[in-house]
C-alpha cells in the first residue's frame, strides 16, 4: 500500500511539472520570440530635429537624443537643422532629416 502512495505522490508531482510546459494554442506564434527592431538591426532613422536657444534634440528610432549622447554604438557629435553627425565603430555617419523621401520642385529654388 505504501508503494502505491509513493507512486501516486510521484505522479502528482510529475503532473505539476508538465503543467508548466503546456502551450496555449490561442497565443500568437511570435509573442514569445524577440522581434528584430531597428536598433537591433543597427539601422538608424532620423525622424525629427528640434533646435531651440538652449538645446538641440534629434529623434532617432523614435527616441529623443541630445548632442553627446549615445545611440546604439554611435555618439552624437553635432545636430544641425537638416542632419545629425554621429561617430562610431564604422567611422563618421550622417543622418539626414529628409533622406530624399520628399519630392522637391526643381523650379522652386532647390
* Per-residue confidence (pLDDT) for residue 40, from 0 to 100: 46
What domain count does the chain have? Answer: 1
Side-chain-side CA neighbours of residue 78 (13 Å) = 6
* Per-residue confidence (pLDDT) for residue 31, from 0 to 100: 59
User: What DSSP letter does each residue of 6-66 carry, written as one string?
Assistant: HHHHHHHHHHHHHHTT---TTS-TTSSSPPP-TTTTT---EEEEEE-SS-EEEEETTEEEE
Are residues 42 and 71 in contact, defined by beta-carbon separation less than 8 angstroms? no
* Per-residue confidence (pLDDT) for residue 17, from 0 to 100: 55
Domain that holds residue 81: 46-96
Q: pLDDT tens-digit profile of 6-45? A: 777 767 666 555 555 677 778 777 655 444 444 444 678 8
With respect to residue 66, please indicate whether it lies within any of the assigned structural domains.
yes
With respect to residue 72, please indicate whether it lies within any of the assigned structural domains.
yes
* Per-residue confidence (pLDDT) for residue 79, from 0 to 100: 94
With respect to residue 30, please indicate whether it lies within any of the assigned structural domains.
no
With respect to residue 39, please indicate whether it lies within any of the assigned structural domains.
no
With respect to residue 84, please indicate whether it lies within any of the assigned structural domains.
yes
* Per-residue confidence (pLDDT) for residue 35, from 0 to 100: 46
Are residues 49 and 81 in contact, defined by beta-carbon separation less than 8 angstroms? yes
With respect to residue 88, please indicate whether it lies within any of the assigned structural domains.
yes
* Per-residue confidence (pLDDT) for residue 38, from 0 to 100: 41
With respect to residue 71, please indicate whether it lies within any of the assigned structural domains.
yes
With respect to residue 17, please indicate whether it lies within any of the assigned structural domains.
no
* Per-residue confidence (pLDDT) for residue 72, from 0 to 100: 86
Q: pLDDT tens-digit profile of 36-69? A: 444 444 678 889 999 998 999 999 988 999 999 9
Nearest by Cα to 97 from 82, 110, 87, 78: 82
Amino acid at each position: 500500500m505504501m508503494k502505491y502512495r509513493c507512486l501516486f505522490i510521484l505522479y502528482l508531482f510529475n503532473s505539476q511539472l508538465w503543467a508548466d510546459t503546456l502551450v496555449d494554442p490561442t497565443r500568437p506564434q511570435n509573442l514569445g520570440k524577440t522581434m528584430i527592431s531597428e536598433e537591433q538591426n543597427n539601422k538608424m532613422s532620423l525622424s525629427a530635429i528640434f533646435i531651440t536657444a538652449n538645446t538641440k534634440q534629434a529623434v532617432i528610432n523614435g527616441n529623443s537624443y541630445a548632442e553627446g549622447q549615445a545611440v546604439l554604438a554611435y555618439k552624437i557629435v553635432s545636430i544641425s537643422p537638416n542632419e545629425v553627425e554621429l561617430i562610431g565603430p564604422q567611422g563618421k555617419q550622417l543622418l539626414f532629416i529628409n533622406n530624399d523621401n520628399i519630392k522637391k520642385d526643381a523650379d522652386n529654388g532647390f
